[in-house]
């Protein structure tokens, strides 16, 4: 479930909580309650952040009997009128081969960047992130994985601003919020941050994109149990061209994912399954006979409906050549 956060006492230039109340803004206790409740609500509906959530469902959150949508139409930064802070930030989904209108990236320090709203029209919305940054207020990051579907990543913190690039540096925990020291430990901490970014952002977003493209079925055997499915990379993310794109992914059940990674099973650029020669002559139980050997030279059972989501033949060929030469 979502973590419970201890937020700092909010103070303006006068330090007056009374003035804050008169202005109709949430108190520090109410800000804490709102964010904990929103993250708990998301945790229940997304299997603790493992599954995607629809735009429609994000509009159904209620707080103290009133509907308080967690996403805005046409805006990437959601700041409720009753709060001085951003509550959610959104990265839109973009089909493979197209550029995002706002290009969120990972920086050289391993931390992700979030593009603020460009131009004078975004000043108040960007300021709501700055306020959250100054007071260490947790945010919810909604990353688009398909049209109308989002991966909810929470909590995240705005760590710093890079105004020349119109972007904010994001972090996930207190360790990441510490400045990197000028010491040999800096490289160790940087690698830790990169690993956390991969685990907290890239992997769940990649999984949601791939499983949705394959309608939550295994490409090889059509198994449809989400808890038994993985999003497999065609080209490993350790390789330079191993990007976290739906076209570099396959929805595979755990058996066929393990076989693919072990070089027992290959998939050709023509979307045909190949089983390693020594396995084809091995005699064993029904799983080997029907779950592996019986699929040899068969076409993939499931492919994405949209051609732009289907596996890139060049990436499949790169991986298939290594399967054949092993």
Q: 275, 288 in Cβ contact below 8 A?
A: no
Task: Provide the residue range defining the domain that includes 291.
Answer: 213-325
One domain, residues 165 and 219: no
Residue 261: pLDDT band with limits 50, 70, 90? very high
Establish if 192 belongs to a structural domain. Answer: no
Average pLDDT over the chain, rounded to whole? Answer: 83
Long-range contacts of 20-28 (CB under 8 A, 24+ apart): 24/82, 25/82, 25/83, 25/84, 26/82, 26/83, 26/84
CA 109 vs CA 112, 205, 236, 264, 306: distances in Å: 9, 20, 21, 37, 35
Residue 245 confidence (pLDDT): 86
Q: 309, 250 in Cβ contact below 8 A?
A: no
One domain, residues 170 and 29: yes
pLDDT at 250 over 80: yes
One domain, residues 144 and 228: no
pLDDT tens-digit readout, 26-37: 988 899 899 999
Establish if 11 belongs to a structural domain. Answer: no
Task: Say whether pTM exceeds 0.75.
Answer: no
One domain, residues 147 and 245: no
Pick from 9-23, 112-126, 183-197 the range whose average pLDDT is largest: 112-126
**CA contacts within 13 A on the Cβ side of 36:** 11
One domain, residues 297 and 247: yes
Establish if 298 belongs to a structural domain. Answer: yes
One domain, residues 132 and 219: no
Among 144, 174, 204, give the residue marking a domain's end: 174
Among 123, 152, 174, give the residue marking a domain's end: 174
pLDDT tens-digit readout, 98-121: 544 445 577 777 788 898 877 654
CATH number at residue 81: 2.30.280
One domain, residues 217 and 78: no
Q: How far apart are CA 270 and CA 314, in angstroms?
A: 10
Q: How far apart are CA 214 and CA 212, in angstroms?
A: 5
* Polymer length of the chain: 326
pLDDT tens-digit readout, 274-318: 999 999 999 999 999 999 999 999 999 999 999 999 999 999 999
pLDDT at 198 over 60: no
Which residues face 91 on adjacent strands? 143
pLDDT at 181 over 80: no
Residue 23: pLDDT band with limits 50, 70, 90? very low
Establish if 6 belongs to a structural domain. Answer: no
One domain, residues 60 and 158: yes
Residue 62 confidence (pLDDT): 95
Mean pLDDT (whole number) for 253-264: 97
Establish if 60 belongs to a structural domain. Answer: yes
Q: 203, 238 in Cβ contact below 8 A?
A: no
Establish if 198 belongs to a structural domain. Answer: no
pLDDT tens-digit readout, 41-98: 999 999 888 899 999 999 999 999 999 999 998 789 999 999 999 999 999 887 665 5
- Three-state secondary structure of the chain: CCCCCCCCCCCCCCCCHHHHHHCCCCCHHHHHHHHHHHHHHHHHHCCCCCCCEEHHHHCCCEECCEECCCCCCCCCEECCCCCCCCCEEEECCCCCCCCCCCCCCECCCCCEEEECCCCHHHHHHHHHHHHHHHHCCCEEEEEEEECCEEEEEEEEEEEEEEHHHCEEEEECCHHHHCCCCCCCHHHHHHHHHHHHHHHHHHHHHHHHHHHHHCCCCCCCCCCCCHHHEEEEECCCCCCCCCCCCHHHEEEEEHHHHHHHHCCCEEECCCCEEEECHHHHCCCCCHHHHHHCHHHCCCECCCCCCCHHHCCCHHHHHHHHHHHHHC
Q: Give the chain's radius of gyration (CA, Å).
A: 23
How many domains are there within the chain? 2
Establish if 193 belongs to a structural domain. Answer: no
Establish if 187 belongs to a structural domain. Answer: no
One domain, residues 167 and 221: no
């Amino acid at each position: 479930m979502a973590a419970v956060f201890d937020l700092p006492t909010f103070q303006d230039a006068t330090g007056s909580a009374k003035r804050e109340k008169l202005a109709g803004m949430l108190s520090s206790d109410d800000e804490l309650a709102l964010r904990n409740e929103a993250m708990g609500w998301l945790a229940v509906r997304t299997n603790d952040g493992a599954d995607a959530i629809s735009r429609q469902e994000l509009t159904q959150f209620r707080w103290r009997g009133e509907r308080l949508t967690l996403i805005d139409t046409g805006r990437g930064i959601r700041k409720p009128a009753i709060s001085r802070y951003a509550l959610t930030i959104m990265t839109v989904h973009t089909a493979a081969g197209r550029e995002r209108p706002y290009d969120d990236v990972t920086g050289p320090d391993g931390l992700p960047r979030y593009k603020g709203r460009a131009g004078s029209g975004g000043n108040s919305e960007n300021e709501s992130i700055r306020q959250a940054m100054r007071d260490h207020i947790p945010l919810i990051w909604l990353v688009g994985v398909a049209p109308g579907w989002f991966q909810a990543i929470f909590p995240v913190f705005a760590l710093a601003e890079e105004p020349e690039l119109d972007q904010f540096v994001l972090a996930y925990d207190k360790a990441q919020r510490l400045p990197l020291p000028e010491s040999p430990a800096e490289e160790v901490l940087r690698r830790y941050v990169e690993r956390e970014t991969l685990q907290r952002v890239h992997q769940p977003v990649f999984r949601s994109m791939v499983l949705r493209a394959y309608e939550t079925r295994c490409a090889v055997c059509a198994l449809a149990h989400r808890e038994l499915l993985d999003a497999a990379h065609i080209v490993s993310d350790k390789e330079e061209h191993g990007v976290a794109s739906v076209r570099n992914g396959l929805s595979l059940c755990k058996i066929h994912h393990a076989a693919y990674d072990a070089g027992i099973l290959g998939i050709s650029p023509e979307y045909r399954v190949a089983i390693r020669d020594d396995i084809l002559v091995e005699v064993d139980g029904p799983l080997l006979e029907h779950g592996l050997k019986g699929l040899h030279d068969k076409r993939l059972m499931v492919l994405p409906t949209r051609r732009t989501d289907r596996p890139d033949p060049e990436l499949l060929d790169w991986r298939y050549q290594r399967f054949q030469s092993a």
